[in-house]
Amino acid sequence: MLRLGRREFAPHERVIMAIVNRTPDSFYDRGATFHDEPALARVERAVAEGAAIIDIGGVKAGPGEEVTAEEEARRTVGFVAEVRRRFPDVVISVDTWRHEVAEAVCEAGADVLNDAWGGVDPRLAEVAARYGAGLVCTHAGGARPRTRPHRVTYDDVMADILDVTVGLAERAVALGVPRESVMIDPGHDFGKNTRHSLEATRRLGEMVDTGWPVLVSLSNKDFVGETLDRPVKERVVGTLATTAVSAWLGAQVYRVHEVAETRQVLDMVSAIAGEREPAVARRGLA
């Protein structure tokens, strides 16, 4: 059982985490939700379309203008508080690697800390433990925050992913983070080239076999773009194909931009797997 905030999710329940970027320069939406009202409208729409988790980020993942911890907090803390006020039952996640920001957003009502940079700040897990918050433990290949991989190599990329993510998860539990609130993430694109990310997807079942809930962040990423030779705005089909494969292999949480489309893909996979009934059943009955 995965327990996040007020919500519990059964092992075969496929969960959507909707991305809400509080940045003026995000790679995909180019600042569309930087200001409060469009960001709150995005949250409302995502929840209506089937997202159980809202993931709020104050710093884009890639290189760019420096964002201090103070500025990151300014972009996220008040917004977390407002989302909590308006949507008391939604699970609120914050994408940060800084313990100072983690502390502030947990005070404001965040339920999950999404550490996309692989424990670069070891105190972040301590914050999660202190607040009883969930934690995403990600493989970033040792990359520093906001850097791109350069000629990165692995003897066995999945072995490295397992070693890092399971190690981070076990450390978090030892610190006091609730075991049922810890997820592991292979970190597509983070510290990896396209072939690494494809292999991580192909071998995702090895992560699922660890028993930790697996989160995947696939949405419109570079490995999809390079595989299909498509720019950012033309990667939805490739993303959804990768989502279907990941769902079949057992991933549980999906961090996405396109909520409605992802919900259909996940529901279809669940039905094929015999874990969900069709929404209607008329064919052949008349």
Give the rounded distance of the alpha carbon of 47 from its chain centre. 16
Spatial distance between the Cα atoms of 5 and 14, rounded to a whole number of angstroms: 17
- In sign, the C-alpha dihedral spanning 35, 36, 39, 45 is negative
Tokens of 187: 């970190």
Domain count across the chain: 1
| pLDDT tens-digit map of 172-219 | 999 999 999 999 999 999 999 999 999 999 999 999 999 999 999 999
Spatial distance between the Cα atoms of 212 and 196, rounded to a whole number of angstroms: 21
Q: Is residue 16 part of a domain?
A: yes
pLDDT at position 38: 93
Task: List the Cα angle 199/205/211 in 5-degree steps.
Answer: 135
Q: Is residue 286 part of a domain?
A: no
Q: Is residue 138 part of a domain?
A: yes
Q: Say whether pLDDT at 42 is over 90.
A: yes
Amino acid, res. 77: V
| pLDDT tens-digit map of 76-118 | 999 999 999 999 999 999 999 999 999 999 999 999 999 999 9
Tokens of 112: 């999950």
- For residue 255, indicate whether it is catalytic: yes
What angle do the packed helices 123-131 and 99-108 form, to 10 degrees?
A: 20
Q: Say whether pLDDT at 32 is over 90.
A: no
Q: Is residue 178 part of a domain?
A: yes
| pLDDT tens-digit map of 129-141 | 999 999 999 999 9
Give the CATH number of the domain where residue 124 resides.
3.20.20.20
Q: Say whether pLDDT at 25 is over 90.
A: no
Longest Cα–Cα distance of the chain, Å, equals: 64
- For residue 60, indicate whether it is catalytic: no
The domain of 192 spans: 2-272
| pLDDT tens-digit map of 225-269 | 999 999 999 999 999 999 999 999 999 999 999 999 999 999 999
Spatial distance between the Cα atoms of 174 and 285, rounded to a whole number of angstroms: 55
Q: Is residue 285 part of a domain?
A: no
Catalytic residue among 42, 98, 221, 235: 221
Q: Is residue 116 part of a domain?
A: yes
pLDDT at position 34: 85
pLDDT at position 179: 98
Q: Say whether pLDDT at 36 is over 80.
A: yes
> HSE on the CB side for 23, CA within 13 Å?
26
Catalytic residue among 255, 263, 276, 283: 255
Burial class (CB in 10 A: 0-12, 13-18, 19+), 213: buried
Spatial distance between the Cα atoms of 76 and 21, rounded to a whole number of angstroms: 9
Closest CA to 11 of 172, 183, 138: 183
Q: Is residue 247 part of a domain?
A: yes
Q: Is residue 200 part of a domain?
A: yes
